Amino acid sequence: MENHSDKNIRNSTSMIRLPMLLAATLAGGILIGATFFGGRTRYSGDLVRNLNKFREVLTWIDNAYVDSVNTDTLVDYSLEKMMTHLDPHSVYIPKKEVAAAKAQLESGFDGIGVEFNIFNDTVFVINAIPGGPAATAGMRSGDRLIRADGTPLTGKKVDNQLIFSKLRGPGGSAVKLDIQRRGEKNLLNFNVTRGRIPSYSVSASYLIDGNTGYIKIDRFAESTYNEFRSQLASLKKQGMSRLVLDLRGNGGGFKDRATDIVDELMGGNKLIVKTDGKGTQFDDETYARKEGLFEKGAVVLLIDENSASASEIVAGALQDHDRALLVGRRTFGKGLVQTPVDLSDGSQIRITVSRYYTPSGRCIQKPYTIYDSDDRYKDGELFVADSIKFDKKQAFKTDNGRAVYGGGGIIPDIFVSVDTSYRTKYLYQLAARNVIAEYAFRYALDNRAKLSEQTFKDYLQKFTVSDAMINEVAAMAAASGIKRNEADLSRSKRYMQDQIKALVASYIWEKRSSTAGLRNELYQVLNANDPLYKKALVYFPQADQMAAKQ
């Protein structure tokens, strides 16, 4: 999160969703400005003694250990272990990883501007972003990336990290790409000059019906608030009088982007979030200050077990002030605040400095011991509301007197169980090899002219992924070494159909360069059969009642 001086930075591992290639993250803390402690740092006697001990050991290893040792590696290792001993979110980031860590929440990056998919150890260009460096140079959807500056981009060793390392780089720098194109005998050569590629965090914004708007936020990055406000204004102009705000899978980000979004939805000078740390240097209270664009209409907020950190600030504030009806499952429970500290060699630590509290006083940080994502699955709380564990002693009241609880995430007002019926070993194998995504891309490429003759609205209502198409997916999978499993295929069929239809729609109709990164067509298809989304719409009368009391 960021508040010009306050940032909430992602610092835990990415979670990969099945099998759509949509990244969701579990996120962490607030960046407290450049003057970390201010003034002269005081060291305790214990700290001085331990610093001396560490220096003595490192000196002995460097001078006397029988074999040659890279002391940089030893120090990195010791710092990594030291931070893990504190809490699950305090981390040490080596110098070589700092730039990538910072880039995750920036509003853009330097690269060539392509979306790609890896299938059968080959990199396919899914989309050359219109107006981007690659498209300007002449690259197009369907091209295969064979080499970058002479480095092979094929084979079993090819992965996202290798591709990013070759395609991204400083703006103005060039990369030579060897491309294989359908219908061409020889490889095509492109010299592409890297440029700034915008990165968006509001992935969908559309009218569900004449007066119900839908906005999905993937993370709280640098540009998120401006994106959100722009889309909110646009939907209002189209007649929106009530809103579905989707924060499922949103692992957090900059604090002030989250609080500014709350401020757009909530009137009055109400508390949004409070932080409390050691002493007073990291204590802070954030209030609603301005007249928001949407302070009166009903709001339904979608959350799940992967909504974390900044998402929980939004959920906690809107729930405590009875401003929104929360639908879904209990959030992740990340209520710790980190500050990044740049070290002298260019590396960085992100250290927990405070906890944050919702307006009613809830600390929603879950116990450190509960960090296995399987725990909620095994305990049954993803399936049955009565299985949700919470501390009744940590009871608080919303503005209208409803009971809410602290001690581990935000519990929704309306529970919707997770659907795992479609998850099979066969589907996991398809996801691991990107078979569904690749099939949808090829289908869209081969049928673009025919599909483009109709409107997206007609496609949404009438297009069906046939059994023959599912058989083609299974044949493609078999060709890549995945044995067909009839029982699993039957269980996963409906999910596969939704995924294929959504991806084909995105390849044909989405124009992300001119719609600020929106993937409306994809989400309109996916949401049509999403149980949580569909149930949320049913509860708008309850949200209307809450809004009437504001």
First to last CA, the chain: 27
pLDDT tens, position by position, for the chain (550 residues)?
Answer: 333 333 333 333 333 233 332 222 223 333 433 333 444 456 678 889 999 999 999 999 999 999 999 999 999 999 999 998 998 889 999 988 887 777 766 767 889 988 888 988 889 998 887 778 998 899 988 899 999 999 999 988 888 889 989 998 889 999 999 999 988 889 999 999 999 888 889 999 999 999 999 999 999 999 999 999 999 999 999 999 999 999 999 999 888 999 999 999 999 899 999 999 887 888 999 999 999 999 999 999 999 999 999 999 999 999 999 999 999 999 999 988 888 899 999 999 999 888 989 999 999 888 766 555 556 767 777 776 666 666 778 899 999 999 998 878 899 999 999 999 999 999 999 998 889 999 999 999 999 999 999 999 999 999 999 999 999 999 999 999 999 999 999 999 999 999 999 999 999 998 765 567 899 999 999 999 999 999 999 999 999 999 999 8
In DSSP notation, 231-295 reads HHHHHHHTT--EEEEE-TT---B-HHHHHHHHHHH--SS-EEEEEEESSSTT-EEEE--S--S-S
Beta 403-405 vs 6-7: how paired, if at all?
unpaired
**HSE-up of residue 241 (Cα within 13 Å, Cβ side):** 8
Angle at 23 between CA 174 and CA 236, to 5 degrees: 100
| Count of beta carbons in the 10 Å neighbourhood of residue 481 | 9
What pLDDT sits at residue 11?
34
Do 255 and 6 meet the contact criterion of CB atoms below 8 Å apart? yes
Beta 195-198 vs 108-111: how paired, if at all?
antiparallel
What pLDDT sits at residue 265?
98
What pLDDT sits at residue 37?
42
Give the three-state DSSP class for 71: helix
Show the tokens assigned to 344. Answer: 């002298």
Mention every residue, 6+ apart, whose C-beta is less than 8 A from residue 357: 273, 274, 275, 276, 335, 363
Q: State the Cα–Cα distance between residues 457 and 207, nearest whole angstrom.
A: 13
The full set of domains in the chain, from first to last, is 108-198 (2.30.42.10), 202-338+355-418+534-548 (3.90.226.10), 425-532 (no CATH)
Q: State the Cα–Cα distance between residues 473 and 192, nearest whole angstrom.
A: 34
Q: State the Cα–Cα distance between residues 234 and 61, nearest whole angstrom.
A: 63
What pLDDT sits at residue 41?
56
User: Which residues pair with residue 229 across a beta bridge?
Assistant: none
Residue 424 one-letter amino acid:
T
**HSE-up of residue 58 (Cα within 13 Å, Cβ side):** 16
CA 372 to each of CA 206, 249, 366, 420: distance values in angstroms, whole numbers, following the listed order: 35, 16, 12, 18
Q: State the Cα–Cα distance between residues 256 and 235, nearest whole angstrom.
A: 23
What pLDDT sits at residue 18?
34
| Count of beta carbons in the 10 Å neighbourhood of residue 82 | 13
Residue with tokens 């599909």: 451
Question: If we measure between CA atoms, which residue out of 191, 177, 114 comes closest to residue 146?
Answer: 177
Show the tokens assigned to 252. Answer: 């957090």
What is the per-residue burial (b if ≥16 Cβ within 10 Å, else e) of 5-31?
A: ebbbbbbbeeeeeebbeeebbbbbbbb
Tell me if the pTM is above 0.75.
Answer: yes
Residue 463 one-letter amino acid:
F
What pLDDT sits at residue 46?
86
Residue with tokens 């330097």: 110
Give the three-state DSSP class for 195: strand
Question: If we measure between CA atoms, which residue out of 371, 306, 444, 246 comes closest to residue 23?
Answer: 306
| Count of beta carbons in the 10 Å neighbourhood of residue 51 | 11
